[in-house]
């Protein structure tokens, strides 16, 4: 009997120990869950969707065209930065059609984006999309090209576009004593407008340089090539070309090559694209004022996260540009972007 009683007592003690272990384990699990769910206690202490105490946010991005390696590079870095912070990015290409871009923005609003990165196809007629975002309470961050109605955006991150035109004109003045100039602009894009203004303003007081024509290149290689070809067929003479971006400059260069014209022509662009840097090294493009699309994308993403986290942000950010010519081309990565 005594042995049986001892065994029963031992079993009671064992059951008691097991009960205590389960209670302690439950308390530990509850404490761990409480700790992990506290704001700012997530594994990602950066400005991700989790750090904001929310599920992953959907960001939208739209560019005037993806038929330009500049915007491809910008979007790739933007997507990389957004996704590294635990969020998602969807991008749209309106192919220079502002009506289409307005529709795409509305579609992204319907998909539930929480913030829009906007590069307008037309800086004025994008307004219906701005109104739609305002009505939906969705903040807009302007990238590369400002919108006319700047009060709609929480921040604008652009290159020193006016300075890019100044740099090209100053380089031209240092290399030529005179010349006839073709300017290829794009009135719907304020970034290119600013570059053209900087170029023309810098040439004021230099009557030895004559602007023979200003044509709309629309920021596209094919359009610029066609426009330049038509001028050459008409017999117009110019020995200097200023393109509002690198595709424009390459389009003009292609027109000269197609026409078999080999005279010494100075061709300038703006972007700092790998293609134009390679052409500068070969000696067929004179120079480009280089933008920094990777820096613009990273800055835009950081400002977006800061804004969503309630931090103070800069309203207008201007990213410096750098003149690239054959004199300093060896300092740059020809195969990549700045």
Judge whether 337 and 159 are in contact, CB under 8 Å.
no
Residue 263, pLDDT score: 80
> Going by CATH, does the domain composed of 58-159+294-319 fall within 3.30.70.141?
no
Residue 150, pLDDT score: 97
pTM of the full structure? 0.83
Question: pLDDT digit string (tens) for 2-38?
Answer: 444 444 455 445 554 444 433 334 434 333 333 333 3
Pair of tokens at residue 88: 């998602």
Q: For residue 320, what is the DSSP state?
A: -
Residue 23, pLDDT score: 38
Which residue from 172, 168, 165 is spatially nearest to 198, judged by alpha carbons? 165
Q: Which string of DSSP letters, residue by residue, matches 214-281?
A: EEE-TT-HHHHHHHHHHHHHTT---SEEEESSHHHHHHHHHHHHHTT--S--EEEEEE--HHHHHHHH
Question: pLDDT digit string (tens) for 280-333?
Answer: 999 999 999 999 999 999 999 999 999 999 999 999 999 999 999 999 999 999
Residue 262, pLDDT score: 77
Residue 2, pLDDT score: 47
Q: For residue 200, what is the DSSP state?
A: H
Judge whether 164 and 198 are in contact, CB under 8 Å.
yes
Residue 55, pLDDT score: 78
Residue ranges of the chain assigned to CATH 3.40.50.2300: 58-159+294-319, 161-292+325-331
The values of phi and psi at residue 127, to 5°, are: -55, -40
Can you identify the CATH homologous superfamily of domain 161-292+325-331? Response regulator (3.40.50.2300)
Going residue by residue through the chain (338 aa), what tens digit of pLDDT does each one get? 444 444 445 544 555 444 443 333 443 433 333 333 333 322 222 344 444 455 799 999 999 999 999 999 999 999 999 999 999 999 999 999 999 999 999 999 999 999 999 999 999 999 999 999 999 999 999 999 999 999 999 999 999 999 999 999 999 999 999 999 999 999 999 999 999 999 999 999 999 999 999 999 999 999 999 999 999 999 999 999 999 999 999 999 999 999 999 789 999 999 999 999 999 999 999 999 999 999 999 999 999 999 999 999 999 999 999 999 999 999 999 999 98
Residue 139, pLDDT score: 98
């Amino acid at each position: 009997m005594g042995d049986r009683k001892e065994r029963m007592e031992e079993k009671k003690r064992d059951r008691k120990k097991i009960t205590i272990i389960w209670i302690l384990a439950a308390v530990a699990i509850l404490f761990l869950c409480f700790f992990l769910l506290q704001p700012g206690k997530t594994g990602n202490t950066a400005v991700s969707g989790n750090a904001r105490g929310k599920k992953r946010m959907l960001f939208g991005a739209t560019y005037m065209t993806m038929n330009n390696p500049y915007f491809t590079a910008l979007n790739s870095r933007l997507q990389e930065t957004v996704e590294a912070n635990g969020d998602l990015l969807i991008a749209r290409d309106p192919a220079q059609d502002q009506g289409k871009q307005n529709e795409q923005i509305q579609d992204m609003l319907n998909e539930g984006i929480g913030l829009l990165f906007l590069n307008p196809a037309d800086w004025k007629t994008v307004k219906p999309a701005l109104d739609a975002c305002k009505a939906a309470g969705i903040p807009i961050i302007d990238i590369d090209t400002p919108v006319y109605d700047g009060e709609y955006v929480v921040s604008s991150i652009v290159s020193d576009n006016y300075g890019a035109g100044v740099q090209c004109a100053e380089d031209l003045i240092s290399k030529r004593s005179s010349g006839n100039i073709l300017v290829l602009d794009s009135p719907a894009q304020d970034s290119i407008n600013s570059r053209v203004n900087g170029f023309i303003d810098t040439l004021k007081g230099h009557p030895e340089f004559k602007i023979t024509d200003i044509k709309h290149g629309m920021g596209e290689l094919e359009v610029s090539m066609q426009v330049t070809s038509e001028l050459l067929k008409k017999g117009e003479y110019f020995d200097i070309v200023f393109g509002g971006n690198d595709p424009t400059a390459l389009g003009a260069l292609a027109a000269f090559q197609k026409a078999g014209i080999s005279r010494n022509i100075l061709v300038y662009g703006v972007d700092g694209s790998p293609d134009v840097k390679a052409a500068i090294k070969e000696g067929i493009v004179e120079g480009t004022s280089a933008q920094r699309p990777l820096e613009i994308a990273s800055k835009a993403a950081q400002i977006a996260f800061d804004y969503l986290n309630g931090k103070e942000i800069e309203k207008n950010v201007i990213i410096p540009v750098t003149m690239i010519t054959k004199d300093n081309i060896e300092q740059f990565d020809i195969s990549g972007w700045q």
